[in-house]
Amino acid sequence: MGLKGFLLSSNFIDGGVTGVSMLLSKTTAMPLSVWLPLINAPFVAIGYRQMGAAFAIRSAAGIAGLSGALAGIQFPDVTPDRVLTAVFGGFFIGAGIGLAVRGGAVLDGTEIAALVVSKRSHLFRVGDVILVFNVVLFLAAMSALGVEPALYSILTYVTAARTLDFVIYGLEEFTAITIVSAQNPAIRDRIMRELGRGVTVYKGYGGLSGAEQDILYCVVTRLEIGKVKTIVAALDASAFVVSHPLADVSGGTVKRAALH
């Protein structure tokens, strides 16, 4: 739906290998349903060697299903509005790719390529490789399709990326919170009692004062960040609080349902 109902009729593209396939389908006589499996095939082969047969089979099946749907299912253009096309086209593409990732497959080989490059080069992380790839892609789109379609394509890509993150991590995207306060025991007890989250206590000392100080560390969902800050503010308005998102969490009590 994201591709046929929104993007294809407006000359917009997505990022990654899907975007390359869309760009090639617009500049050659070969349809998107052929370019998608053709360009993704080498990346699926790499995935087979790096991540196993099950991953490769699921990915190949997903890509084949997408190509078949593009070739065989007719879908009308949903809206002529270009902003709505970019936003909702990106939304549906991100949702589809996210569901595939949750099922242990990929519909786009960019992530596989980025993983391999980052392993062989200590200068680039996976996110850096994907960013460079997409910058080059959108510059090519600007040359082939024009400035305006390329800019709308960037909006499509950003929307798809945010939707993908939400589908994969959902509302359970975890955040680590570090708290330094004179009221640490009371703060710790309330977090454990009211949120049902585990709290780790580190022993530290002030860099200037040299005084010994307990440091609290806990992991919560992003929906619980406000509750933690409310607890801390009620007990110690001058407490030092730092929070940062986590890429992955397992074990402990972080997966236990919160007691709201």
Q: What is the pLDDT of residues 25-72, one digit of tens each?
A: 888 889 988 999 999 999 888 888 877 888 889 888 988 988 888 888
Residue 121 has pLDDT above 90, yes or no: no
**Amino acid 75: pLDDT:** 76
Q: Is the pTM of this model over 0.85?
A: no
d(CA 181, CA 187): 9
d(CA 82, CA 259): 44
Structure tokens at 101: 């990732």
Block residue for tokens 């749907």? 69
Structure tokens at 120: 């062989």
Mean pLDDT of the chain: 83
Residue 126 has pLDDT above 70, yes or no: no
Q: What residue type is assigned to position 142 of the chain?
A: M
Q: What residue type is assigned to position 109 of the chain?
A: G
What does the pLDDT look like over 138-164, one tens digit per residue? 888 888 888 988 888 888 888 888 888
Q: Residue 258: pLDDT band by 50, 70, 90 thresholds?
A: very low
Measuring CA to CA, which residue among 185, 203, 201 is closest to residue 193? 185
CB 51 within 8 A of CB 66: no
Crossing angle of helices 225-235 and 184-195, rounded to 10°: 140
Residue 212 has pLDDT above 70, yes or no: yes
Domain map (residue ranges) of the chain: 2-170, 173-245
Residue 132 has pLDDT above 50, yes or no: yes
Per residue, the 3-state secondary structure of the chain, as one string, reads: CHHHHHHHHHCCCCCHHHHHHHHHHHHCCCCHHHHHHHHHHHHHHHHHHHHCHHHHHHHHHHHHHHHHHHHHCCCCCCCCCHHHHHHHHHHHHHHHHHHHHHCCCCCCCHHHHHHHHHHHCCCCCHHHHHHHHHHHHHHHHHHHHCHHHHHHHHHHHHHHHHHHHHHHHHHHCEEEEEEECCCHHHHHHHHHHHHCCCEEEEEEECCCCCCEEEEEEEEEEHHHHHHHHHHHHHHCCCCEEEEEECCCCCCCCCCCCCCC
What is the assigned CATH class of domain 173-245?
Answer: alpha beta
